[in-house]
Amino acid sequence: MAPWERQGFWGPPTSTLDWCEENYVVSSYIAEFWNTVSNLIMILPPIYGAIQALKDGLEICYLLSFLGLAVVGIGSWCFHMTLQYEMQLLDELPMIYCCCVFVYCLCECFKQEKSISCLPIVILLAFSVIVTVVYLQWKEPVFHQVMYGIMVGALVFRSVFIVSWVYPWLRPLCYTSLGLFLLGFILWNIDNLLCDTLRATRERLPPIVGAVTQFHAWWHILTGVGSYLHILYSIQIRRTYLKHRPKVQFICRFWPLIDTESQKSS
């Protein structure tokens, strides 16, 4: 039996997608091991970010951004661990919801402190409901991917507009975030298009070396870091508009976080 046809603890896949990683090779309890554990980058740092956002009293949309990213990571973990359809929904639908929160934060970054705009909330909520209902009835992964692409496109357009015309000094953070996401997207496509070649290559390599060719796992890592940086970018825009002096600090000289304790500028 080919490695990607092995059966494990969760039984035959019921999801509409089964990625390029061979199933149940590393563990009989985890269908796609590397695609699963790579989601830690989307779970642990955002949880820490959410705790910090709560301590710093940031507006709730930024707290929801961190929590949304963590939920996406948890859903993706469950999906790749089990390859069950219910867990696939737990992965894919939160991607739409989280992107809606990201879009709201960027669209409403130039407003009075603690004010809430109902119109964008209604529009984004309606979009989420429509996508959910249609996707539950029409189980076509391409539909989800197109809807997700629309939201990402809106984020890119708004982000580039802000660093081009409002806060050009934020370009490094903005373009690093977008660049990581783009690189992850390229690797995701390579994983889809050259799957047979990648599987054949992994058969000839030692397991640890072969793990480097798990490009869908790299998609998780790169988009996880890119999304985290996007939240920091969004917070920095907002705090700057409110006449604070936010700056990026590093935990253990490695992991970035926005220092929101800076005093307001005069």
Return the H-helix or E-strand segment holding 247: strand 247-251
Residue 5 lies in a domain: no
Contact present, 232 and 221 (Cβ < 8 Å): no
Residue 28 lies in a domain: yes
Residue 213 lies in a domain: yes
- Checking if the pLDDT of 263 tops 60, the result is no
pLDDT digits (tens, 9 = 90+) for 37-83: 999 999 999 999 999 999 888 999 999 999 999 999 999 999 999 99
- Checking if the pLDDT of 193 tops 80, the result is yes
- Checking if the pLDDT of 248 tops 90, the result is no
Grade residue 137 by pLDDT with cuts at 50, 70 and 90: very high
Grade residue 253 by pLDDT with cuts at 50, 70 and 90: low
Residue 199 lies in a domain: yes
d(CA 130, CA 99): 15
Residue 7 lies in a domain: no
Residue 250 lies in a domain: yes
**Residue carrying the six token digits 């081009």:** 164
Give the torsion sign (CA, 11, 12, 17, 21). Answer: positive
pLDDT digits (tens, 9 = 90+) for 156-165: 999 999 999 9
Residue 12 lies in a domain: no
Domain with residue 77: its CATH number is 1.20.1070
**Predicted structure pTM score:** 0.92
Q: Is 12 helix (H, G, I), strand (E, B) or coil?
A: coil
User: DSSP H helical segments within 57-84, as ranges?
Assistant: 60-82
d(CA 216, CA 181): 13
- Checking if the pLDDT of 19 tops 50, the result is yes
Grade residue 8 by pLDDT with cuts at 50, 70 and 90: confident
User: What is the percent of the chain with per-residue pLDDT over 90, rounded to a whole number?
Assistant: 80
pLDDT digits (tens, 9 = 90+) for 98-122: 999 999 999 999 988 777 788 999 9
- 197: Cα within 13 Å, side-chain hemisphere: 6
Residue 1 lies in a domain: no
- Predicted confidence at residue 208, as pLDDT, reads 87
Query: Mean pLDDT throughout 11-17?
Result: 94
d(CA 107, CA 225): 22
Other CB atoms within 10 A of residue 46 CB: 25
- Checking if the pLDDT of 26 tops 70, the result is yes
Q: Is 19 helix (H, G, I), strand (E, B) or coil?
A: coil
Structural domain boundaries, residue 241: 18-259
- Checking if the pLDDT of 5 tops 80, the result is no
User: Count of domains in the chain?
Assistant: 1
**Residue carrying the six token digits 């249609």:** 134
Contact present, 10 and 83 (Cβ < 8 Å): yes
